Each structure stands twice: as C-alpha cells, then as structure tokens.
Amino acid sequence: MPRAEQPRVRVLDDAASVGRALSPVRREILEHLAEPDSAAGLAARLRLPRQKVNYHLRVLEKAGLLELVEERQKRGFHARILRTSANAFVVDPSLLGAWIGNVEALPDRFSSAYLITTGARLVKDVATLREEADRAGKKLLTATLETEASFETPGKFDAFTRELADEIARLTRKHGARRGRKGRRVRLLVAAHPTTRGKAK
C-alpha cells in the first residue's frame, strides 16, 4: 500500500510496544526506516552487525512499528524490505498516568493541569475515532484553527477569553442542531498558552 494511503500518525496505546521502541538503537532504526530499507542496508548505514540489526527489526516488526514492503531475492540472499508503519508515532498519554483523561478530577478549568489533561484526551479520542473511520472507509470530521496573538495585560487576555466564549455560544446557537432534532455531536476544544519562542515584542 502506498505511503500516501497510510495513516500518517499512529498513537501507541500498548505499553509493551512503547517499551520496545524506547531504546536508542531502535529509535534510530525507526528514524532511518521512514524510507524502506533492508537489514543489510541498515547495518551498513548504522555501522552495526547485521545479526544485531535483524534482532531489533524482528522486535519492532512484532510490535507493529514496522511493516513489510516487499521481499527480494538477490545473489542467493533473501532480503526483506521494511519501513515504519506510520510517518510518526505518538505515545498515548493515558499510559503515563491514570489521571490522564479524568478531567472531572481537576476542578480548576484555567489551570495548566486541566489543559494538559484535556489535550491528552484529545490525542486518545481522535486516534480512536480515526481508526474507526478508516475501518469504515469514511472521513473523520475534524477542524483545527491555530494562530498567535499578543495581549498587553492579563486583564486584556481575560476579556478576550470571555468574548470568545460568548461568540462560540452564539455560533453554536446559530449553526447547531435545533432542539428535538438529531445531529452529529462534536467536542470543541479551545486552548491558549504562552508560545515557546519567548515573549512577543
């Protein structure tokens, strides 16, 4: 199957699979196998014994992190061409602690802990829904809006968030399903945090 037809991001929700991918050698192998290659080719590029590379490849393939592209016969040797099963891997945040996804346990909706928990639930939910949509041959209904803004004072930021909440409520009333009518339910998440590039000038 061509790479364009593959899910570009895969969420790892199995602790064993995550553990198998964490060693430095295996992470390097995954990076190199963004493009298909054989054990012999990898061994040459990584300057490692082919037997050692083969061992790591078997472990990663068994964990579902690699997929077989083709098999070749060359000069009496049988070569298996492998590549990563996705363009990128994301660890399911729920593996890192039972509190992830338990939003109700965090009453302060303006805390960074609440934002992290909600973001973690977003990763898990969208990954699950996308897999279900792929199996059904359907497209998942999503939207992403992202921008950056500067606020002179915390008071300006608070005023902005209040007006934004009012505007979202207005748009929901305008475009949402009328009472008594069926509609597709969606979860809308609006988040804000300082940029990592430093303070805006």
pLDDT tens digits for 120-168? 788 878 878 887 888 888 888 899 999 999 999 999 999 999 999 999 9
pTM for the model:
0.59
- CA 74 centroid distance within chain: 38
Q: Where a domain ends, among 89, 115, 140?
A: 89
Residue 18: CATH number of its domain: 1.10.10.10
Asked whether residue 79 falls in the same domain as residue 109, the answer is: no
Assigned domain for 197 exists: no
Assigned domain for 96 exists: yes
Q: State the DSSP string of 8-68.
A: SEEEE--HHHHHHH-SHHHHHHHHHTTS-B-HHHHHHHHT--HHHHHHHHHHHHHTTSEEE
Q: Which pLDDT band holds residue 3 (cuts at 50, 70, 90)?
A: very low
Asked whether residue 80 falls in the same domain as residue 64, the answer is: yes
Looking at the structure of the chain, the number of domains it has is: 2
Range of the domain at 138: 92-175
Over range 59-70, report the average pLDDT: 90
Assigned domain for 188 exists: no
Q: What's the pLDDT tens digit per position in 14-23?
A: 777 777 777 8
Across the chain, mean pLDDT equals 83
